[in-house]
Structure 1
Amino acid sequence: MEKLPLRVLACGDVEGRLETLFGRVRAIQSKSGRFDMLLCVGDFFSSTSDAEWAEYRSGAKKGRRGLFSGTSGLQIAYLSGTESQDEPTPAYSFSSKDVTELKSSLLSTLNFKGVDILLTSPWPRDVESFANSPGEIDTKKCGSTLISDLAASLKPRYHFAALEKAYYERLPYRNHTVLQETPQHVTRFIALAEVGNTSKKKYLYAFSIIPMSLMDPAELVKQPQDVTENPYRKLRKGTQKTKVLGCAEQEETACQFFFDLKKHQGKKRSSDGKDRGSTQTKQAKKPSQPTGPCWFCLASPEVEKHLVVSIGTHCYLALAKGGLLPDHVLILPIGHYQSVVDLSSEVMEEVTKYKSALKEFFRSKGKRYVLFERNYKSQHLQLQVIPVPLDYSSEDIKECFITQAQEQQIELLEIPEHSDITQVVHPGTPYFYVELDTGEKLFHRIRGSFPLQFGRAVLASGALLALPQRSDWRSCTASRPEEEAQASAFRRDFQPFDFA
């Protein structure tokens, strides 16, 4: 039997303007047909509401929180009012106790996967993290952390809020950790303006939805192309950390990753055999000390400083010795870090700046870059950045890497664009990683041996740059004067793009 979607209208702050609202709804239905329901969030009552609302205003009748389950199977969770620290909680307010009890009542349900819709008045705090900006609204100051916690736990497919007199449709975000948890549905957060506002900001949102309980599981968890990381990731990790049982403190790291470091390729479970989400929290790290001479620590006498082309606060750029091409460069941390996963947030931020600058630089020359890292038999992080003609699409490049990996029985997994590699592995894990300037990423967890020149060999192959004779850097070394000339030329050309 065909599952017909429900047609729903969601509305922002009504503020007592019932005639304006229902006049608009009637106009929409006359053009687009009937809708199954109208949902309202935010400030519904005006300051001069009719007597019929008196019992609700006084708190004699309450509708503070709960779950509405329709005959269609649609599930709508709701939390009324604004956050209050007072006890007892005033009418039209909610407290942490309300949130805890609403979460408990739903999460205790057998096989709970989430709700179809969540309705709250305030925005969730930090909802814009990893996503498009809501304009003038500062989500680090407005909204409620309790709402963020509620949304992180209930995993609604749609979350509506109001109160900020603004319309904001956030990019959808995922509710699972990539490559560590079973894929789940995404959440779409939509904030709506007030009814009849003079700025013509959107206050009605129309959408169709098939209840989650009726959907094919594979269809439900499909990820849209613009999906982002979960904005409440830190909250989720903190919550999950309190739930990890049976692990002594010193054993926690071994229990928190789906990639079992002791098992064969393809296993994605924790070491105790039970599926869990990652509880790792990224800590600010100081550079470790090299165990011997390091060719890449900038303060080291071993560094060939004539190849350096830009120096930032935490990172620097240098031409690759024996580069595949004259403009083959490396992004390197100034301090001693082994891999991207080890980097502190400050260093990572500057790595990102260098990637953005190199993207603009190479695009100005009709090229795009391919970046790869091999965290295997190397003690200092080296991000290899090699330009290829724009004629090669990102799909061409990914296909080339995947095809040649398969020939060598190397499994390359694609990581979604808005994820980052720290969600996949922890420090000390050997891996190979490819990133295109579009943000697309490929990843291989190294177990056993790995061809040291793999990334370079793929780019040098006939399918891409057709320079097979340059696949090994040792056969491409140049004299010191040649290297100095190449570095000088790159430094001059890159200067307009160099933020450092």
Structure 2
Amino acid sequence: MSKFQKVLVCGDVNGQFDELFKRVSSVHQKAGPFDLLLCVGDFFAEGANSQWTPYKTARIKVPLPTYVLGPSKEGHKQHYSDLRGCELSENVIYLGPSGIYPSSSGLRIAYLSGRQDTPAGLAGYTNKKVEELEVEGKQQGIIDILLTSQWPSLVTSYASKPAEGCDVEAAGCGLVARLAHSLKPRYHFTAGLNTYYQRLPYRNHQILQEAPQHVTRFLSLSAVGNSDKKSKWLYAFTITPAVHCSTAELVVQPSDVTEGPYAVHKLPPLEQEGSGINQFFYGGAEKKGHRGKKRSAESQDNNREKRLPPKPTGPCWFCLSSPEVEKHLVVSVGEHIYLALAKGGLVPHHLMLLPIHHYQTSLDLEKQAHAELNKFKSRLREMFAESGRAVVFYERNYRTTHMQLHAVPLTQNKATRVAQVFTEAGEEHGLPLEELPRHTELSAAVQSGQPFLMVEPPQGPTLLHRVKKGYNMRFDREVLASKDLLNLPERVDWKDCMSSRQEETENRDNIRKIFKPFDFTIDSDDGPDDDSSDDS
């Protein structure tokens, strides 16, 4: 997998979704593939936004993962189910008021939605909130991309040409300028003035006084649909995340670089109160642990990396708080992950590990959830090993909206055959599976939002198939049910394997009893009791 990312950025969309996604699809096909689309400025228009409905309902598919900023006008608010961050539709994510997006590619994207001192109920920011983002940014390391709804003041200082047709100092914001000066992003994108402006790159260090640092490139994009050919509203570029670059690569100074535009004495001062961590996304107050103990300092630091998960745009069968969840299948509940029987499982002890909240794949999980997922997997291996069995884990991200990691046990004498059987079946069906190098995380091979099938055999390397159009959704079950493994061809289709609710409940009670010696959540007050009755 290449470490560089191909990124598209657009200005204010203002409800012009058809024109936006038509152009993006065209560029994606001709010059792509691109990895993501970033939208700065206003995504919605004030009014009906009639073009939005087919994208919201997924009748028309958004061509690639799209990330947008928050509502700065009252008429926009109705389209955001949660102002702290949410999924607006399939492939369209509202990042939130402010924060740093933890991309699985390593790309660090900082964002600041809305305008300064926006009324309550809309995305906006204060001096204090900007300070919190500055603190968080410095903890994260080099910021690759900064997205802001407002222009920074002073940005045209030392530039070879001013921004034509707009009064930057009247429209610009001193707090955004201070944020840009503090974070030193490699790219800074904004919109809002319906003009295209690309400033010459500027230095982030003082010559002969400081060690060389990377430069910043500032761009403002016009509104989508602007007919002036000089007013570009879609910008494409390629970037290698800073975490994958050497210092020598990062500090290269282009020939047209200028001095930095932000004179410190002209920037707004910090508030004198103690700075904290962004309250929209990061834990500020000390919380109680899973078993009533205070979290360690390390755990509190990890909380800073948390951001609220996107909320489902419709009913979800797997969000634990959803009324659609069949809670009688639940075996064990952790802080972030829960264990449940698979409905229509291949074998009686076919299990699933699922996030409590709405995450599409394991790539999207926060750090602590990943750790708990791995802990569950380790305990399941121990449990099955005690009865002379091994376990195959697999995850498919194709036509699913909530992560499901399946755990299917099989006899030890079949364990050595799993990788070979999957590989041979893949070759036969034109679905090549590649081996991930040892100690390589899935996130290093596939990006969030990209369809995939991941198989962890009991022995041998993890296998990965990059799903393309026309994928056979039963492939994983067909291989496991084949005569070379489980030899249960009649159980390929889960709908043919349905049991009654009473049978499912009895099976759940049985697996709870077996899992009890290995269940690290058993001391939790909110974990399921062994003698709990059938949940309705």
TM-score class normalised by the smaller sequence? 0.3 to 0.5
Q: Which has the larger Rg?
A: 1
What TM-score, normalized to structure 1?
0.45
